[in-house]
Amino acid sequence: MTGKAKRQASAGSSRDAMLAFLKDRRGEWVSGQILAERTAMTRAAVWKRIGVLREAGYGIEAVTRKGYRLQEIPDRLLPSEISDGLKTRIMGRGEIRHLEEAASTNQTAKEMAISGAPEGSLVVAEAQSWGRGRLDRCWFSPAGQGIYASLIIRPPLPPSEASRLVLLTAVAVAEALRETTGLAATIKWPNDILVGGRKMAGILTELAMEMDAVNYMVIGLGLNVNIDEAAFPAEFRSAATSVLLETGVPFSRVLLLRRFLEAFENRYLLFRESGFAPILARWKTLTDMTGRQVTVQTVGGSYRGKVAGFDGDGFLILRDEKGGKLRLVSGDVQMV
Ligand code: BTN
């Protein structure tokens, strides 16, 4: 991590008293003396901290005999912004590592998990140079326009049940989008998030196991927030969409990410307490695939047929053209 990234990360690991004070008085002048008193810092430490916040993108004016005035909060996925007002106990409560550019946030999160990062630790990046999707595809990750985030969890589960968390994550993303933007987000099995038939978000989960238990899982979320149509590479344009494209207005990435963390925690605690059935029931209300003709690309080959439904493990039941039934664990679905 660079010195700058380190300072940004530590700036947000707990609610920052000085930033909170300035935010409560946004647009007003606050003297250095008052800031020092209220935050139990020296005047010199206040000045230093102002410098760090400015470096992270906060627009703070400083004028002799007037003091400091917060004018602008940056549109960046800063830890201090993500944690401010976040209503979770676990998710986003470990380390939040913010990177200007990651190769892949999943890769960074795996390294953190191996070094012992606790459940709920999070990696966010403004851009990715090697954003990865399912089936070895790449994930378009332009700077400042999307959410590229990877969450570390340590569920006490056998690896055979890890795919349940994939469906759970899709529920959380769809719920966060519906609640924040009002868009009718749906789920394409197992975990693509669509709006109007086009993909708005994707999830890449990766897992490490020890003996017969999950050691850690990395939940990677890519969400197209403020990406304009022309910005999408030609090969994605007809199949992809963004919050901006669907609503016509730009949205706060921080707010969306916070809602995702809250929805995820909510569903995760329900899963830990009551098992998979209530999660699957909710997942089913968010998909409109049953009865549709599809082709499913799996590692074992490609299958065509009608979606008969989903079983208790969340596997897709496909009725093929000869009337036979197939139970598919994972794959990439194309509606036909
Ligand atoms: C998909 O193919 O639908 C999954 C896309 C997942 C993209 C996200 S962006 C953050 C995280 N880091 C990655 O490299 N991939 C995931």
Q: Summarize pLDDT for 100-153 with one digit per residue, the tens.
A: 999 999 999 999 999 999 999 999 999 999 999 998 899 999 999 999 999 999
3-state SS track over the chain: CCHHHHHHHHHCCCCCHHHHHHHHCCCCCECHHHHHHHHCCCHHHHHHHHHHHHHCCCEEEEECCCEEEEEECCCCCCHHHHHCCCCCCCCCCCCEEEEEEECCHHHHHHHHHHCCCCCCCEEEEEEECCCECHHHCECCCCCCCEEEEEEEECCCCCHHHCHHHHHHHHHHHHHHHHHHHCCCCEEECCCEEEECCEEEEEEEEEEEEECCEEEEEEEEEEEECCCCHHHCCHHHHCCECCHHHHHCCCCCHHHHHHHHHHHHHHHHHHHHHHCCHHHHHHHHHCCCCCCCEEEEEECCEEEEEEEEEECCCCCEEEEECCCCEEEECCCEEEEC
Measured in angstroms, how far is the CA atom of residue 57 from the centroid of ligand 1? 26
Residue 137 shares a structural domain with residue 186? yes
Which atom of ligand 1 is least distant from the CA of 125? 10
Number of domains in the chain: 3
Ligand 1 centroid from CA 202, angstroms: 6
Could you tell me the residue range of the domain that residue 136 belongs to?
79-285
Question: What is the model's pLDDT at position 4?
Answer: 46
Name which residue sits closest to atom 16 of ligand 1, judged by CA. Answer: 220
Ligand 1 atom with the shortest distance to the CA of 202:
3
For 16-28, the pLDDT digits (tens) are 889 999 999 999 9
Do 295 and 307 form a contact (C-beta atoms < 8 A)?
Answer: no
Q: Which of 72, 103, 118 is the last residue of a domain?
A: 72
Query: pLDDT averaged over the chain?
Result: 93
In the reported structure, the alpha carbon of residue 332 is separated from the centroid of ligand 1 by a whole-number distance in angstroms of 15
Structure tokens at 15: 């609610």
Looking at residue 1, what is its pLDDT?
Answer: 37
- Both 140 and 231 in one domain: the answer is yes
Q: What is residue 336's predicted lDDT score, i.e. its pLDDT?
A: 83
**Which pLDDT tens digit goes with each residue over 282-307?**
999 999 999 999 999 988 889 999 99
Pocket test for ligand 1, best of 148, 203, 204, 330 (most atoms within 8 A of CB): 204
Q: Distance (Å, rounded) from C-alpha 243 to C-alpha 250?
A: 7
Residue 130 CA, closest ligand 1 atom number: 14
Confidence bin at 98 (pLDDT 50/70/90): very high
Residues 321 and 305: beta-carbon distance below 8 Å: yes
Banded pLDDT at 15 (limits 50, 70, 90): low
30 Cα to the center of ligand 1, angstroms: 42
| Domain-terminating residue out of 72, 92, 125 | 72
Distance 156 CA to ligand 1 centre (A): 24
Q: What is the pLDDT of residue 11?
A: 39
Q: Are 93 and 239 in a shared domain?
A: yes
Phi-psi region of 307 (alpha: psi -120 to 50; beta: other; left: phi over 0): beta
**Torsion from C-alpha of 296, 187, 251, 152, nearest 10 degrees:** -90
CATH number at 269 reads 3.30.930.10
From the CA of 240, how far away is ligand 1's center (Å)? 14
Q: Which positions ≥6 away from 17 have C-beta within 8 Å?
A: 38, 39
Query: Is residue 43 domain-shared with residue 105, that is, in the same domain?
Result: no
Q: Are residues 303 and 262 part of one domain?
A: no
Q: By alpha-carbon position, which residue is closest to atom 15 of ligand 1?
A: 132
- Ligand 1 atom at minimum distance from 135 CA: 2
Q: What is the CATH number of the domain that holds 12?
A: 1.10.10.10
Q: pLDDT confidence of 321, banded at 50, 70, 90?
A: confident
Task: Say if residue 18 is in the same domain as residue 33.
Answer: yes
Predicted confidence (pLDDT) per residue in 229-274, tens digit = 999 999 888 999 999 999 999 999 999 999 999 999 999 999 999 9
Q: How confident is the model at residue 2 (pLDDT cuts 50, 70, 90)?
A: very low
Report pLDDT for 103: 98
| 221 CA distance to ligand 1 middle (Å) | 5
In total, the chain counts a number of residues equal to 336
pLDDT digits 0-9 by tens, 161-189 = 999 999 999 999 999 999 999 999 999 99
Closest ligand 1 atom to 191 CA: 3
- For residues 206-234, give the mean pLDDT: 95
Q: Does 7 have pLDDT greater than 80? A: no
Residues having CB within 6 Å of any atom of ligand 1: 104-106, 128, 131-134, 137, 139, 148-150, 192, 202-204, 220-222
Q: Is the dihedral of CA 262, 266, 271, 273 positive or negative?
A: positive
Determine what percent of the chain is predicted with pLDDT higher than 70. Answer: 96
Asked whether residue 319 falls in the same domain as residue 173, the answer is: no
* CA separation, residue 184 to residues 171, 271, 284 (Å): 13, 24, 14
Answer whether 0.75 is exceeded by the pTM: yes
Same domain, 117 and 147: yes
> How large is the average pLDDT for residues 71-97?
94
- For residues 160 and 85, membership in a common domain is answered with yes
- Please tell me the distance between residue 133's alpha carbon and the centre of ligand 1 in angstroms: 5
